[in-house]
Amino acid sequence: MNRRAIFWYWLLLFVPTLLVGAAAFRLIRHEGERMAVQARSAALDRVRAIADNVRLTVSAVEDELGESLRRIPPDALAETLPAWEKDNPLVRNVFVWDAQRGLLLPSQPNGWTAEERRFVSRYDALFSGRIPWLAAAAETNGLVRGPARAGGAVASRFQNAKSSSESNRPSDFVRQVEQMRSSGRQMAAQALPQGANGQSQAPAWQGGWIPWFAENRLHLLGWVRRDAKSPVYGMELELASLLSRLMTVFPSAVSDGVVYALLDDAGGVVCQVGGLDIKPDARPDMSVTLAPYLPHWSVGVFLAGGGMLNVGGRSFVLLAGLLLAIVVVAILAGGSLLTWQAHRHMADALRKTSFVSNISHELKTPLTSIRMYAELLSEGRVSDAGKMKKYLQVIAVESQRLTRLVNNVLDFSRLEQGKKKYRRESLDCAEFIRQFVETHRLRLGEAGLAVRVELPEAPAWMLFDRDALEQVLLNLVDNVIKYAAEGGELLIALERQQDHCRLSVMDLGPGIPPPHRARIFEKFYRVDDSLTARQPGSGLGLSIARRLLRDLGGDLVFEPREGGGSCFVAHLPCGEAEEGQKGMTAIDYN
């Protein structure tokens, strides 16, 4: 699988996932909107039901009071009406008015109270005869609400009902209830005793309820008269008492974030259910007016966050959108991870292939030299003792190189399989380095490297695996011979630090370019330049050295060297140097 194939594979995953995700999100939004519309219409139905109940309650109260008014005997008006005003919480003011004699009640001779004075001046237009009573009640025979139930000034205000309201008319149900009540009254009237000539003695009742706007608020005035010539009498409704009855028609429990409220003609909240704080200038999300029962009043619903979507739809969209996003991200992340892994495996496979060819090359070169010199010597064609010695040295050096290579490969496979065993023993690291340089001195000199060793004067004891330390040093020094010989210098320094020893292997070679510094410790990794290409190698040396050190509690890092070259630092676990043991000695091998 090449890079292009991986790219296409990723694209094939990415594009459909995004498309499916986008389509699913659209569906979720659509569903959310549908839920919002459903919730909206449910809330509207509820508001309508509350409004109908309010209308029915007002109508029942008006009906009840109207009936009671009609039942008062004409000669008992003067006693009964004031008694009502005193005892009935629904009655605020009472009156009796005669077209000829004017206002009979509240009676002037006793002197009006302040409330009575306000009452009389409120309805001056009616009591002075400017607005005829009948104009307010087209339907006669009882207190029946009709289309022309109010006088001119009042009726014109009816037409200014709020435009934002959902409905201005009572439902069919309320009208049916009214009709039933009206026909009930008619049947009761027909059941009254008949006169001697068989004519009905039922009076020709006139009356109605007048919604009256004065002093910036609504008042309801009920009036009645037995016939066109009789005095008009009636009462003004105590709205506060009516409201306490209206409270009972509001639901006792509502869902969170929803408020149902009764709003007066100025849009102020008269009463509400639901736990939201409603600002004075807030307008309801939906409202149903209560005209003609309470003109300009309405029942409204307020929703938290300013919309129905917040209540059901938005939380659904949020939750489903979040789940969808998690699924899409998981698919993309999983796909990307798989693609990345495929890419890594591809790179690994490539490195392994080049490793095999590198190893074969590394094995072939010393084997060819060994075979060639061994054949020369065995055929007895070399008689010169000096030459013979030189050939034997080459065979020895090449076989040592072979041994190092085979050791590296063996170590690598043991480390990979986790089978590498360590034998920790107490060793003086300074002495170990001295011996190591002594052993390889010849080889280093032949490579043209001047070697300098800086060691502490006192022994640096540590518990370490001798073979592992040798392997680490061999790999580092071999690299200097392979890649940095032209720098002409190798510096090996051991310093004792507070809790560890720092073993540095430094050269003046080309160094390692920054992008490769972290990667040279990966297995099979080789810097891709002409210098590395010229030298045989497996890309295992540094990775094995680091693994060995880490397994034994140390580490191997690369540090760039000021003035060029490389510096590989092995951190080794060793004890702290005692006072007076911090002196250093330097040995130069030229």
Q: Which residues bind ligand ADP (CB under 6 A)?
A: 475, 479-480, 482-484, 507, 509-510, 512, 520, 526-527, 532, 537-543, 566
Question: Least distance from C-beta 569 to ligand ADP, angstroms?
Answer: 12
Question: Least distance from C-beta 493 to ligand ADP, angstroms?
Answer: 15
Which one, 224 or 545, has the nearer CB to ligand ADP? Answer: 545
Which one, 446 or 529, has the nearer CB to ligand ADP? Answer: 529
Question: Least distance from C-beta 443 to ligand ADP, angstroms?
Answer: 16
List all residues 6 or more positions away from 88 whose beta carbon is below 8 Å from its beta carbon.
none
Which one, 161 or 527, has the nearer CB to ligand ADP? Answer: 527
Which one, 329 or 518, has the nearer CB to ligand ADP? Answer: 518
Question: Least distance from C-beta 492 to ligand ADP, angstroms?
Answer: 13
Question: Least distance from C-beta 523 to ligand ADP, angstroms?
Answer: 8
DSSP track, 18-84:
HHHHHHHHHHHHHHHHHHHHHHHHHHHHHHHHHHHHHHHHHHHHHHHHHHHHHHS-GGGHHHHHHHH
CA atoms within 13 A on the CB side of 295: 21
Question: Least distance from C-beta 487 to ligand ADP, angstroms?
Answer: 9
Spatial separation of the C-alpha atoms in residues 376 and 367, rounded to whole Å: 14
Spatial separation of the C-alpha atoms in residues 179 and 63, rounded to whole Å: 12
Given a contact cutoff of 8 angstroms between Cβ atoms, the answer to whether 74 and 230 are in contact is yes
Which one, 195 or 513, has the nearer CB to ligand ADP? Answer: 513
Structure tokens at 12: 């094939």
Given a contact cutoff of 8 angstroms between Cβ atoms, the answer to whether 586 and 452 are in contact is yes
Which one, 180 or 531, has the nearer CB to ligand ADP? Answer: 531
Spatial separation of the C-alpha atoms in residues 438 and 470, rounded to whole Å: 13
Which one, 302 or 483, has the nearer CB to ligand ADP? Answer: 483
Which one, 267 or 539, has the nearer CB to ligand ADP? Answer: 539
DSSP track, 77-126:
HHHHHHHHHHH-TTEEEEEEEETTTEEEES-STT---HHHHHHHHHTHHH
Instruction: Tell me the three-class secondary structure of 168-226, residue by residue.
Output: CCCCHHHHHHHHHHHHHHHHHHHCCCECCCCCECCCCCEEEEEEEEECCEEEEEEEEEC
Which one, 93 or 566, has the nearer CB to ligand ADP? Answer: 566
Question: Least distance from C-beta 511 to ligand ADP, angstroms?
Answer: 6
Spatial separation of the C-alpha atoms in residues 513 and 127, rounded to whole Å: 107
Burial of 521 (0-12, 13-18, 19+ CB in 10 A): middle
Question: Least distance from C-beta 489 to ligand ADP, angstroms?
Answer: 12
Paired with 199 in beta bridges are none
Question: Least distance from C-beta 529 to ligand ADP, angstroms?
Answer: 7
